[in-house]
Amino acid sequence: MSEKNINVKVFRYDPIGDKEPYYQDFEVPFVEGMSAMDALDYIYQNLDSTLAYYDHAGCSLGICARCTGRINGKAGLLCQTPVSGEVTLEPTKKDKVLKDLVMKR
């Protein structure tokens, strides 16, 4: 891994095609102050457009809480949580996953 990249491990699960959830690793260019949502945006736009997460449906301002998830095991808002180094992103409730990081409400 380059010093200018971060490794982002993302929970993946599509109930239609996957028997079990799994984690997928992505290398994402590091930008000072980037949020977990910024990393997901990079993955979606450059590496894997099948990734499901709340983006445009949310505010990206820390107000709506649609982007709630687990960042390195701690619950938080993906759009407000800075990331660096090794990062694991998961839904808060894996038993309520519709796809990847999107959960039933």
Q: Does 102 bind ligand FES (CB under 6 A)?
A: no
Q: Which is nearer to ligand FES, 21 or 62 (CB)?
A: 62
Please compute, for residue 96, the number of CA atoms within 13 A of its CA located in the half-sphere on the CB side: 8
Cα–Cα distance for residue pair 86/13, rounded to 1 Å: 21
Q: Which is nearer to ligand FES, 1 or 75 (CB)?
A: 75
Cα–Cα distance for residue pair 45/55, rounded to 1 Å: 12
Within residues 3-62, the interface with ligand FES by CB under 6 A covers 58-62
The β-bridge relationship of strands 22-29 and 5-12 is antiparallel
Q: Which of 1, 47, 63, 75 binds ligand FES (CB under 6 A)?
A: 63
Q: Which is nearer to ligand FES, 16 or 61 (CB)?
A: 61
N residues, the chain? 105
The residues that touch ligand FES, with contacts defined as CB under 6 A, are 58-67, 77, 79
